[in-house]
Amino acid sequence: MVLKKISLFFLVSILFVFSQCRDAQPKKEENKNKDKQTGNKNAFTSPPGYDLNKPVILNLRTELDEISGLAFYPKDTSVFGITDEHGWLYKIHLTGNFPIEKWKFSKGQDYEDLVLLDSTFYILASNGELAAFKFIPNKPLIPRMYSLSIEGKNEFETLYHDNASGKLVMICKDCEGDNKKTVTAYSFDPATQTFSDTPFFILNADEIAEQLGEHKIKFKPSAACINPLTNELYIISSVNKALVIADTKGNVKSVHPLDPKIYKQPEGITFTPSGSLIISNEAADVGAANLLIFKYKSTVK
């Protein structure tokens, strides 16, 4: 009789522990989502060397309210940028009291990102077209146009240069061939001036969702750039309010939720050669557009 009572006690204890373990994960995920909604900074992590919650902020004038892509220019510590729809290339100096410069390269289209490579600017339109041009003294900017031929309705916002392959890579924001589990990247070879027929890589959106504590998400990249110090691919998403870090083959390594109070509409990203991170924020009808600057701090002691 005593033995039966002891056995019953252990059985009840085991069932209680099991039920607590089973309930722990949902509560943890619920708390994580609550932290994001209330702006708890403990929920907003950062990759090694950066504090994404403490940027140096450079406010921009009204003309740049819809600033999208960015490209750092080391010769005079400036960034080149574009805005949606207007066909202007801007130069913004980060040091000194210099005026913003601008040049007209198009009558207008939905432009999203840019890369400066070997003195040639490559500008990405949302439909997958690339405009390429160089500065020629005393002559208008006349871009050469290249089109990606894939079936269906497709939208892009992300263009970056992959040093290892020498290719320009554009990542789908919303492509007909993708589903909620996949995000495809395509490449353009500047040497041959041709697009590849096969994907450069395919991102696994389920891995991103899992690290964000979500069941499923439709991941929509806004901009990307390779960190020159770590050779990791940094992909920012305005829609998902997240920074995804992957290897150059698109394998997800970490995901960092972004504080919407700081990142109201991040649409551009670039690095300095020393590893400082620069992110552009559209105005999004809330104050001024700005540049968020994060100096890299080595974690090696």
User: Is there a domain that residue 79 lies in?
Assistant: yes
Across the range 58-75, mean pLDDT stands at 95
Q: In terms of domains, do 15 and 83 share one?
A: no
Q: Is the pLDDT of residue 109 over 80?
A: yes
Question: What pLDDT is attached to residue 107?
Answer: 87
**Cβ atoms 154, 172 nearer than 8 A:** yes
Give the contacts of 127 (CB within 8 A, at least 6 positions apart): 110, 154, 155, 156
Q: Is the pLDDT of residue 39 over 60?
A: no
Q: Is 283 left (phi over 0), alpha (psi -120 to 50) or beta?
A: alpha
Query: In this structure, are 13 and 83 located in the same domain?
Result: no
Above 60 in pLDDT, residue 254?
Answer: yes
pTM of the complete model: 0.86
Q: What is the pLDDT of residue 85?
A: 80
pLDDT band at 42 (very low <50, low <70, confident <90, very high): low
Is 300 among the domain residues? no
Which of these three, 11, 28, 43, is where a domain ends?
A: 43
Domain assignment present for residue 132? The answer is: yes
β-partners of residue 160 are 169
Q: Are residues 39 and 51 in the same domain?
A: no
| Inside any domain, residue 241 | yes
Based on the domain organization, do 214 and 227 belong to the same domain?
yes
Nearest to 295 by CA among 58, 41, 49: 49
Mean pLDDT of 16-41: 44
Is the same domain home to 85 and 180?
yes
Same structural domain, 39 and 129: no
The C-alpha atoms of residue 27 and residue 108 are separated, in whole angstroms, by 49
What average pLDDT does this structure show over 225-231? Answer: 98
Query: Domain for residue 121, yes or no?
Result: yes
Mean pLDDT of 88-107: 92
For the chain, give the mean pLDDT. 87
- Asked if residue 20 and residue 140 are part of one domain, the reply reads no
d(CA 234, CA 244): 6
Is residue 25 domain-shared with residue 130, that is, in the same domain? Answer: no
Phi, psi for residue 23 in degrees, rounded to 5:
-85, -15
Provide the number of structural domains found in the chain.
Answer: 2
Same domain, 119 and 198: yes
Q: Per-residue confidence at 225, pLDDT binned at 50, 70, 90? A: very high
Q: What is the CATH number of the domain that holds 119?
A: 2.120.10.30
Residues 117, 38 within the same domain: no
Q: Which of 33-37, 40-44, 147-151, 259-263 has the lowest mean pLDDT?
A: 33-37
Per the CB < 8 A criterion, the answer to whether 220 and 174 are in contact is: yes
CA–CA separation, 216 and 222 (whole Å): 19
Does residue 30 fall inside a structural domain? yes
Residues 147 and 6 in one domain: no
Q: What is the DSSP string of 63-130?
A: GGTTEEEEEEETTTTEEEEEETTT-EEEEEESSSS-PPEEEE--S---EEEEEEETTEEEEEETTS-E
Mean pLDDT score, 235-261: 97
**230 is written with which tokens?**
């770590």
For residue 11, is it within any domain? yes
- Do 37 and 137 lie in one domain? The reply is no
Query: pLDDT confidence of 286, banded at 50, 70, 90?
Result: confident
The dihedral region occupied by 86, where left means phi > 0, alpha psi between -120 and 50, and beta the remainder, is: alpha
> Is 172 contained in some domain?
yes
Q: Which domain holds residue 191?
A: 47-294
Quick one: pLDDT band at residue 301, thresholds 50, 70, 90? Answer: low
